[in-house]
Amino acid sequence: MSTVRPQVAPFLDPDTETWSYVVYDHPGGHAAVIDPVLDFDNKSGRTSTDGAQRLVDFVREQALTVDWILETHAHADHLSAAPFVRDAVGGRIGIGEHIREVQGIFRQVFNLEKQFLCDGSQFDHLFSEEDTFHIGALTGRVFHTPGHTPADMAWLIGDALFVGDTLFLPDVGTARCDFPGGDARTLYRSIQRLLALPDSTRMFMCHDYPPAGREHQCETTVAAQKRGNIHVHEGISEEAFVAMREQRDATLEMPRLILPAIQVNIRAGQMPPAEDNGVVYLKVPVNRL
Ligand SMILES: [Fe+2]
């Protein structure tokens, strides 16, 4: 593992409370962009790249070469801006290989066109458990962390772990497991693998939903999670976690943008093909989710 300590620039999307990151070795060096967000106004169906432009501007200001644009999973709460970032500053779009299962599930839900392939070929690269990759002087290692979805990945870059939707900050807990293909027991086991990393490992969240009185934050450590995560601190058993998670998930509404987000994100952030009038449509399956 690389001993270079990566620099991490966080960017909050306030609308969906998503954290995106630019991770890099040094100014003028190499970078990865993690989980960039495309703004989407559900009321008008209009997209905007204003949020993702902040990441692009940062990459240019720091004179970084983008090697990778990494998705921790096919997000259900926001649309990915990965193609916009790639067009602006380069990089290859990577996700976990189990995205194929997620594509298979939602191809049926949305009755997608025959040409839509469930082979992950919409992405530039599919990562597998224990793969390594490089960002300039930094080494990355891949953890397959299913549970929230079948395809979740956590990216360990130097001492910085990008956990996606496995863990939230200690006072918020863990991600839901009730989406198609999700499973609370599987998530518990994925989390235990992350908590087995060295105590000083920095953990960067994909989301923060701060309780009243606290500002949005993005960073904690393995030690702090083991000591204080309200859902999975040390001593909470698998059975207790599963019971808590399933009970809690039964009370949660679907995320506001799940229907548009999934349709776009399983295409690596591309929109579906335009119809014969040149307009792109996103579908709403009635009584299906
Ligand atoms: Fe998610």
**Average pLDDT in the chain:** 96
CA–CA distance, 24 with 12 (Å, rounded to integer): 18
What number is the average pLDDT over the span 227-238?
A: 98
277 Cβ contact list (under 8 Å, min separation 6)? none
Best CA proximity match to 280, nearest among 263, 257, 268: 263
Please give the distance, rounded to the nearest whole angstrom, from the Cα atom of residue 27 to the centre of ligand 1.
30
pLDDT score at 2: 45
Please give the distance, rounded to the nearest whole angstrom, from the Cα atom of residue 15 to the centre of ligand 1.
15
Could you report the per-residue pLDDT of 54-90, keeping only the tens digit for each? Answer: 999 999 999 999 999 999 999 999 999 999 999 999 9
Share of the chain above pLDDT 90, in %: 97
State the amino acid at position 39 in one-letter form.
D
CA–CA distance, 40 with 262 (Å, rounded to integer): 13
CA–CA distance, 20 with 69 (Å, rounded to integer): 11
Give 19's pLDDT tier (boundaries 50, 70, 90). Answer: very high
Please give the distance, rounded to the nearest whole angstrom, from the Cα atom of residue 152 to the centre of ligand 1.
8
Could you report the per-residue pLDDT of 90-140, keeping only the tens digit for each? Answer: 999 999 999 999 999 999 999 999 999 999 999 999 999 999 999 999 999
pTM to 2 decimal places:
0.96
Contact 228, 8 (CB under 8 A): no
Please give the distance, rounded to the nearest whole angstrom, from the Cα atom of residue 121 to the centre of ligand 1.
21
In this predicted structure, the answer to whether residue 1 has a pLDDT above a threshold of 60 is no
